[in-house]
Structure 1
Amino acid sequence: MTIKFPLLLAVFPVYQAWDLYQLAVSAVPAYHWVTEAAATAAFISILYLVIRDRKQASHAFEALKKSADASARALIERNEGAQQSTRNFLQSMQDQFDAWSLTPAEKDVALLLVKGLSLEEVARVRESGAKTVRQHAANVYAKAKLEGRHQLAAYFFEDLLAPLATPVKR
């Protein structure tokens, strides 16, 4: 069984009040009575300060907790916003791939090339031959009327800096 801190501290003033009463009804020197009264007043003052500081700390903790909760919610919202932005960007890429009439394999290769993979890495990821990937890449560049992987990547990254537009048929 645990005893609460304020309850434990409240026992002393009650004892001191009883002790002061006993001193008042008995014949003791006045300095003893004054000393006991001063000690009781000092303890009550210290008790007040401790309780006040605990309340202030509790309020500060609650404010900090609310701030941390607000920060966590803001982080979740930012992450959701970033994920939605990524989904929108990928959808915009897929729409453009459709406008260029790319096959599913060509779309896959184009996406991996935009992500920065080399032709050999694309071949490993797709578990296909390097020559097949080269042919798909060449088909993508021809259908998009682009000269290579750098222009392909630039085509989509420029969209990140510009407002969303409808896919362009080349």
Structure 2
Amino acid sequence: MTARLPLLLTIFPAYQAWDLYQLVANGATYHVLTEAAATVAFLAVLYLVIRDRRRAAREFDELASSAKVTERASQERNDDARQTTRDFLLSMQKQFDAWKLTPSEKDVALMLVKGLSLDEIARLRESGSKTVRQHATNVYAKAKLEGRHQLAAYFLEDLLVGAPAVR
């Protein structure tokens, strides 16, 4: 429809002009006036349609531009969040190193901070519950903490005030 619009908008005024010429040549004054009024009305409607289409196109471009800005801002926030998470995990790993945790103890400690139960950790690590319990006990002893709540609080508290201090 949009591709045919310019053709239709060209043909109608041309036909109207030819029709007016025929009427003027034959002297039908009343009919000339009604045809002239119809042509003026058509041109007014045509102007309004073109104006509204241009405004709609402009508003669409503004909306598309706004959507791109919003998408970029969202992507930047996501990138910042990913970087913050990487930084937090890196600081946790540094603290685990400072506590001299073994790789298995580090793995268990991370899952404890995430809130997993000992049974869930055992299933994920494909190891026994007693082994995981022993790793957790070792983590608490090396960190000089009394349990999983203090371990989680140690890192989560630092999220609110800054990077964790290495003990």
**Map of 2:67 onto structure 1:** 68
- Residue 14 of structure 2 corresponds to residue 14 of structure 1: yes
1:54-112 Cα deviation digits (max 9, x unpaired): 11011111111111111111111111111111101100100100011100000000000
TM-score scaled by length of structure 2: 0.95
**Map of 1:24 onto structure 2:** 24
- Residue 48 of structure 2 corresponds to residue 41 of structure 1: no
Q: Where do 5+ consecutive residues of structure 1 fail to align? A: none
**Map of 1:94 onto structure 2:** 93
State how far apart, in whole Å, the 2-side matches of 1:62 and 1:24 are.
46
State how far apart, in whole Å, the 2-side matches of 1:144 and 1:16 are.
92
State how far apart, in whole Å, the 2-side matches of 1:57 and 1:7 are.
21
**Map of 2:114 onto structure 1:** 115
CA apart distance, 1:8? 1.5
User: Alignment partner of 1:117: what SS?
Assistant: coil
State how far apart, in whole Å, the 2-side matches of 1:37 and 1:9 are.
17
Does structure 1 retain, via aligned residues, the 8 Å contact 2:101–2:142?
yes
**Map of 1:168 onto structure 2:** 166
**Map of 1:152 onto structure 2:** 151
| Aligned sequence identity (%) | 67
- TM alignment of 1:106-145, pairs within 5 A: 106-145=105-144
Aligned-pair RMSD on alpha carbons? Answer: 1.5
State how far apart, in whole Å, the 2-side matches of 1:39 and 1:116 are.
77
User: Alignment partner of 2:115: what SS?
Assistant: coil
Q: Where do 5+ consecutive residues of structure 2 fail to align? A: none
Q: Check 1:163–1:5 CA distance in 2 against 1; reply closer, same or farther (3 A cut).
A: same
User: Alignment partner of 1:46: what SS?
Assistant: helix
CA apart distance, 1:2? 7.7
TM-score scaled by length of structure 1: 0.93
CA apart distance, 1:7? 2.9
- TM alignment of 1:72-83, pairs within 5 A: 72-83=71-82
Q: What amino acid maps onto 1:133 in structure 2? A: V
User: Alignment partner of 1:101: what SS?
Assistant: coil
State how far apart, in whole Å, the 2-side matches of 1:51 and 1:80 are.
43
